Amino acid sequence: MIYYSKQSISQEDIDAVVDVLKSDLITQGPVALQFEAAMCGYTGASHAIACSHGTAALHLACLALNIGKGDHVWTSPNSFVASANCALYCGAEIDFVDIDPNTLNISVAALSEKLEQRKKLHKLPKALILVHFAGNPCDMKAIHRLSIEYSFSIIEDASHALGASYQNRKIGDCYYSDITVFSFHPVKSITTGEGGMLMTNSKRLADTARLYANHGITRNRAEFDNQQEGEWFYEQKVLGFNYRITDIQAALGLSQLKHLDQFVAKRKTIAGFYTHELVGLPICIQQLTQDSCSSHHLYTISVQNGKFAEKEKIYQQMKAEGIICNCHYIPIHLQPYYQVKGFNKGDYPNAEAYYASSLSLPIYPDLKDEDFVVKTLKHILD
């Protein structure tokens, strides 16, 4: 069976995890801090907070920016539900901006238009959560200009984009954003099993995120309200969460990070092969953002006639040949939970049209059967 994606685990990764299992500290030890430092070194960001999963990183980002009741947060409908749920966890109102049908990221034109409209209604967003869909960076420079003009913070949901770059800067350096978050789910660029990371250049945001990730507890004497009672003393400052990563997970991530560029290069090779071989077929592929390099987390195709029935036919026939494709994503606003909140079919036509016609082909570093994938797809389309 050929899956749409899966992890690549080496003996070096296994040995790194075993070393931690044999050590005295398997959860709150030194390896998580080493992983954070390595991520800062790779991306160029000043601060990193490793956490239990990408959803936790998104939630921490909202908490660090003090997003709460009465605030508005916007994101892309073409993403996993976590990109929107994180704002709701904080009591904020969520809204969406339709995608560019070519890049499949948030449309800068649609964003600019919506900002101008909402300015008149005094309902501008406190934060915008960008999604670098499939590892293809958003137009960060243009969106950053809008953030200055309309005074909103930027969170990059870079769950797909570790290893990608924009204007020769690594995604995650937060040059055009306040916070970037990564996911280390098994299908991502690197994996820790489950895990996530928050990156920022602000010490204040980093300290706040770390506080919330650790039950809201501090052991820093300078931050105590009461007199220290002994070396064991700690104080809870806010209602936090247990979003910490283990050293077991961090050891795997630290080992995987050494091979990240190699993983991305292999994904790029597979993506290039698909693009070359699929020329002339009745499908469309994602257009890469100018001045950027994708991490090629996904390779998506769209059936040109845009019919859901045609997409379903291709999916089932590929599956019958042992090739498991996937669909990224069901637009968030079409989920029953969000429709109860007042969102309706037709609200974001570009995202809906993309969903109706799109499939994700297999792409991962250990894939050996991309030629079979192409031959099978060509046969089905013929």
Residues 336-372 pLDDT 10s: 999 999 999 999 999 999 999 999 999 999 999 999 9
| Distance of alpha carbon 307 from alpha carbon 211, whole angstroms | 48
- Give yes or no: residues 250 and 336 share one domain: no
Asked whether residue 180 is assigned to any structural domain, the reply reads yes
Q: What pTM value is reported for the model?
A: 0.97
Answer for the pair 161, 171: CB distance below 8 angstroms, yes or no.
Answer: yes
Mark which of 257, 274, 301 sits at the end of a domain.
257
Domain that holds residue 340: 260-381
Asked whether residue 290 is assigned to any structural domain, the reply reads yes
Asked whether residue 5 is assigned to any structural domain, the reply reads no
Distance of CA 105 to the CA centre of its chain: 12
Domain count, the chain: 2
Answer for the pair 134, 78: CB distance below 8 angstroms, yes or no.
Answer: no
- Give yes or no: residues 294 and 223 share one domain: no
Which residues pair with residue 292 across a beta bridge?
A: 166
Q: Is 307 helix (H, G, I), strand (E, B) or coil?
A: coil
The phi, psi pair for 309, rounded to 5°, reads -60, -35
What is the pLDDT of the chain when averaged over all its residues? 97
CATH of the domain at 316: 3.90.1150.10
Stretch 260-288: mean pLDDT, rounded?
97
Given a cut of 80, whether residue 60 has pLDDT beyond it is yes
Highest mean pLDDT among 8-17, 222-231, 304-313: 8-17
Given a cut of 90, whether residue 23 has pLDDT beyond it is yes
What pLDDT is stored for residue 186 in this prediction? 97
Asked whether residue 336 is assigned to any structural domain, the reply reads yes
